[in-house]
Protein backbone atom coordinates (compact mmCIF):
# COMPACT_ATOMS: atom_id res chain seq x y z
CA UNK A 1 0.00 0.00 0.00
CA UNK A 2 1.01 3.62 -0.37
CA UNK A 3 0.05 6.78 1.47
CA UNK A 4 -0.91 10.00 -0.30
CA UNK A 5 -0.21 13.41 1.25
CA UNK A 6 -3.38 15.01 2.49
CA UNK A 7 -4.43 18.42 1.30
CA UNK A 8 -5.68 20.88 3.90
CA UNK A 9 -8.17 23.73 3.51
CA UNK A 10 -6.03 26.32 5.24
CA UNK A 11 -7.05 29.98 5.27
CA UNK A 12 -4.58 32.84 5.59
CA UNK A 13 -3.32 32.37 9.14
CA UNK A 14 -2.90 35.22 11.59
CA UNK A 15 0.76 35.49 12.53
CA UNK A 16 1.88 32.48 10.48
CA UNK A 17 3.07 33.42 6.99
CA UNK A 18 2.24 31.67 3.74
CA UNK A 19 5.95 30.90 3.37
CA UNK A 20 6.02 29.22 6.78
CA UNK A 21 3.00 27.12 5.88
CA UNK A 22 4.57 26.03 2.58
CA UNK A 23 7.82 25.06 4.29
CA UNK A 24 5.94 23.09 6.92
CA UNK A 25 3.70 21.31 4.43
CA UNK A 26 6.74 20.35 2.35
CA UNK A 27 8.29 18.79 5.43
CA UNK A 28 5.05 16.85 6.06
CA UNK A 29 5.09 15.60 2.47
CA UNK A 30 8.67 14.41 3.05
CA UNK A 31 7.44 12.20 5.88
CA UNK A 32 4.81 10.69 3.58
CA UNK A 33 7.41 10.12 0.86
CA UNK A 34 9.72 8.27 3.24
CA UNK A 35 6.91 6.18 4.73
CA UNK A 36 6.19 4.92 1.23
CA UNK A 37 9.88 4.43 0.46
CA UNK A 38 10.44 2.26 3.52
CA UNK A 39 7.26 0.25 2.91
CA UNK A 40 8.36 -0.36 -0.67
CA UNK A 41 11.85 -1.46 0.37
CA UNK A 42 10.59 -3.86 3.02
CA UNK A 43 7.97 -5.29 0.66
CA UNK A 44 10.72 -6.03 -1.85
CA UNK A 45 12.76 -7.74 0.86
CA UNK A 46 9.80 -9.95 1.78
CA UNK A 47 9.17 -10.72 -1.88
CA UNK A 48 12.76 -11.67 -2.59
CA UNK A 49 13.29 -8.78 -5.00
CA UNK A 50 15.79 -7.00 -2.75
CA UNK A 51 18.51 -8.41 -0.54
CA UNK A 52 19.34 -6.44 2.59
CA UNK A 53 21.48 -7.57 5.48
CA UNK A 54 19.47 -8.01 8.71
CA UNK A 55 20.96 -4.89 10.31
CA UNK A 56 19.91 -2.66 7.40
CA UNK A 57 16.41 -4.12 7.38
CA UNK A 58 16.15 -3.65 11.14
CA UNK A 59 17.15 0.01 10.84
CA UNK A 60 14.51 0.55 8.17
CA UNK A 61 11.90 -0.89 10.52
CA UNK A 62 13.05 1.40 13.32
CA UNK A 63 13.04 4.36 10.97
CA UNK A 64 9.50 3.56 9.86
CA UNK A 65 8.10 4.62 13.25
CA UNK A 66 9.83 8.02 12.94
CA UNK A 67 8.51 8.66 9.43
CA UNK A 68 5.00 7.30 10.08
CA UNK A 69 4.47 9.19 13.33
CA UNK A 70 5.86 12.35 11.73
CA UNK A 71 3.32 11.95 8.93
CA UNK A 72 0.37 11.30 11.20
CA UNK A 73 1.20 13.98 13.80
CA UNK A 74 1.39 16.63 11.08
CA UNK A 75 -1.99 15.50 9.76
CA UNK A 76 -3.41 16.08 13.23
CA UNK A 77 -1.70 19.47 13.38
CA UNK A 78 -2.80 20.88 10.03
CA UNK A 79 -6.36 19.58 10.29
CA UNK A 80 -6.81 21.72 13.41
CA UNK A 81 -6.13 24.87 11.38
CA UNK A 82 -8.58 24.17 8.56
CA UNK A 83 -11.54 26.46 7.82
CA UNK A 84 -10.44 29.27 10.09
CA UNK A 85 -10.39 29.73 13.87
CA UNK A 86 -13.38 28.73 15.96
CA UNK A 87 -13.70 29.32 19.69
CA UNK A 88 -13.92 26.45 22.14
CA UNK A 89 -17.33 25.52 23.51
CA UNK A 90 -17.04 25.38 27.30
CA UNK A 91 -20.29 23.39 27.48
CA UNK A 92 -19.13 20.69 25.06
CA UNK A 93 -18.10 17.25 26.39
CA UNK A 94 -14.46 18.27 25.86
CA UNK A 95 -15.05 21.54 27.69
CA UNK A 96 -16.54 19.68 30.65
CA UNK A 97 -13.70 17.14 30.71
CA UNK A 98 -11.14 19.95 30.53
CA UNK A 99 -12.79 21.83 33.40
CA UNK A 100 -12.80 18.70 35.55
CA UNK A 101 -9.08 18.08 34.95
CA UNK A 102 -7.70 21.62 34.79
CA UNK A 103 -10.25 23.67 36.70
CA UNK A 104 -10.65 27.40 36.30
CA UNK A 105 -7.14 27.90 34.89
CA UNK A 106 -8.21 25.85 31.88
CA UNK A 107 -6.85 23.48 29.29
CA UNK A 108 -5.26 26.15 27.10
CA UNK A 109 -3.21 27.59 29.95
CA UNK A 110 -1.96 24.10 30.80
CA UNK A 111 -1.07 23.29 27.18
CA UNK A 112 0.87 26.55 26.93
CA UNK A 113 2.75 25.67 30.10
CA UNK A 114 3.65 22.24 28.71
CA UNK A 115 4.56 23.75 25.34
CA UNK A 116 7.24 25.91 26.92
CA UNK A 117 9.18 22.85 28.05
CA UNK A 118 12.77 23.36 26.90
CA UNK A 119 13.59 21.45 23.74
CA UNK A 120 11.91 20.40 20.54
CA UNK A 121 8.91 18.13 20.32
CA UNK A 122 5.14 18.23 20.60
CA UNK A 123 2.56 19.20 23.18
CA UNK A 124 -0.10 16.52 22.89
CA UNK A 125 -3.48 16.17 24.56
CA UNK A 126 -4.77 12.61 24.88
CA UNK A 127 -7.98 11.10 26.18
CA UNK A 128 -7.73 8.07 28.47
CA UNK A 129 -11.12 6.40 28.64
CA UNK A 130 -9.80 3.71 31.00
CA UNK A 131 -9.01 6.03 33.90
CA UNK A 132 -11.20 6.20 36.98
CA UNK A 133 -12.03 9.89 36.50
CA UNK A 134 -15.48 11.02 35.42
CA UNK A 135 -16.69 13.94 33.36
CA UNK A 136 -20.29 13.24 34.24
CA UNK A 137 -20.69 11.85 30.71
CA UNK A 138 -18.14 9.06 30.59
CA UNK A 139 -15.33 7.72 32.71
CA UNK A 140 -11.94 9.01 31.62
CA UNK A 141 -9.47 11.84 31.84
CA UNK A 142 -7.34 14.10 29.67
CA UNK A 143 -3.55 13.94 29.72
CA UNK A 144 -1.37 16.76 28.34
CA UNK A 145 2.24 15.74 27.78
CA UNK A 146 5.43 16.89 26.10
CA UNK A 147 6.55 14.34 23.50
CA UNK A 148 10.15 15.01 22.56
CA UNK A 149 10.48 12.55 19.65
CA UNK A 150 7.21 11.71 17.99
CA UNK A 151 8.16 8.05 17.57
CA UNK A 152 9.01 7.84 21.29
CA UNK A 153 7.13 8.91 24.38
CA UNK A 154 3.60 8.69 23.00
CA UNK A 155 1.05 7.39 25.51
CA UNK A 156 0.33 3.87 24.30
CA UNK A 157 -3.13 3.31 22.90
CA UNK A 158 -4.51 6.75 23.71
CA UNK A 159 -6.23 8.76 20.96
CA UNK A 160 -4.82 12.20 20.22
CA UNK A 161 -7.22 15.07 20.84
CA UNK A 162 -4.87 17.98 20.07
CA UNK A 163 -1.33 18.13 18.67
CA UNK A 164 0.87 21.25 18.81
CA UNK A 165 4.09 21.04 16.79
CA UNK A 166 6.99 22.57 18.71
CA UNK A 167 9.82 21.54 16.41
CA UNK A 168 11.57 24.66 15.18
CA UNK A 169 10.61 23.92 11.58
CA UNK A 170 7.02 24.79 12.58
CA UNK A 171 7.81 28.44 13.28
CA UNK A 172 11.41 29.41 12.41
CA UNK A 173 10.41 31.25 9.22
CA UNK A 174 8.39 33.69 11.34
CA UNK A 175 9.83 33.46 14.86
CA UNK A 176 13.25 32.95 16.42
CA UNK A 177 13.56 30.24 19.12
CA UNK A 178 13.29 32.81 21.93
CA UNK A 179 9.84 33.73 20.54
CA UNK A 180 8.38 30.23 20.84
CA UNK A 181 5.76 31.50 23.28
CA UNK A 182 4.57 33.96 20.61
CA UNK A 183 4.21 31.11 18.13
CA UNK A 184 2.22 29.09 20.68
CA UNK A 185 -0.13 32.04 21.23
CA UNK A 186 -0.50 32.38 17.45
CA UNK A 187 -1.34 28.69 17.10
CA UNK A 188 -4.23 29.07 19.52
CA UNK A 189 -5.39 32.25 17.76
CA UNK A 190 -5.79 30.15 14.59
CA UNK A 191 -7.08 26.94 16.15
CA UNK A 192 -10.40 25.54 14.99
CA UNK A 193 -11.65 24.08 18.26
CA UNK A 194 -14.55 22.34 16.54
CA UNK A 195 -12.03 19.90 15.00
CA UNK A 196 -10.59 19.15 18.44
CA UNK A 197 -14.04 18.78 19.98
CA UNK A 198 -15.12 16.36 17.24
CA UNK A 199 -12.05 14.21 17.92
CA UNK A 200 -12.99 14.10 21.57
CA UNK A 201 -16.62 13.27 20.80
CA UNK A 202 -15.58 10.44 18.48
CA UNK A 203 -13.26 8.78 20.96
CA UNK A 204 -15.53 9.32 23.97
CA UNK A 205 -18.49 7.84 22.08
CA UNK A 206 -16.53 4.84 20.84
CA UNK A 207 -15.30 4.13 24.39
CA UNK A 208 -18.74 4.42 25.96
pLDDT attached to residue 207: 55
Query: 122 by DSSP, 3-state: which?
Result: strand
Name the stretches of the chain with pLDDT < 50: 134-135, 137
> What is the fold, at CATH topology level, of the domain defined by 18-79?
Helix Hairpins (1.10.287)
Q: What is the mean pLDDT of the chain?
A: 91
Domain boundaries of the chain, sorted by first residue: 18-79, 93-207
Dist. CA 149–CA 19, nearest whole Å:
25
Angle value at C-alpha 187, between 79 and 161, nearest 5 degrees: 50
95: left (phi over 0), alpha (psi -120 to 50) or beta: alpha
pLDDT attached to residue 134: 46
pLDDT digits (tens, 9 = 90+) for 128-164: 988 765 445 457 899 999 998 888 888 899 999 999 9
Angle formed by the axes of helices 93-102 and 107-115, to 10°? 60
| Structural domain 93-207, CATH architecture | 3-Layer(bab) Sandwich (3.55)
C-alpha closest to that of 60 among 44, 76, 81:
44
Q: Which contiguous run of DSSP H or E holds residue 196?
A: helix 193-207
Dist. CA 52–CA 37, nearest whole Å:
15
pLDDT attached to residue 59: 86
Amino acid sequence: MTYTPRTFDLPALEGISEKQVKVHLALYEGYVKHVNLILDQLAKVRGGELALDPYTAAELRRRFAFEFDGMRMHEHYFAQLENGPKAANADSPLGQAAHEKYGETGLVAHIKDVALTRGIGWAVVYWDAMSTGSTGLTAGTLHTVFVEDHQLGQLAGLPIILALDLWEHAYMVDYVPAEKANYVDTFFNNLNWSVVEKRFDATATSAA
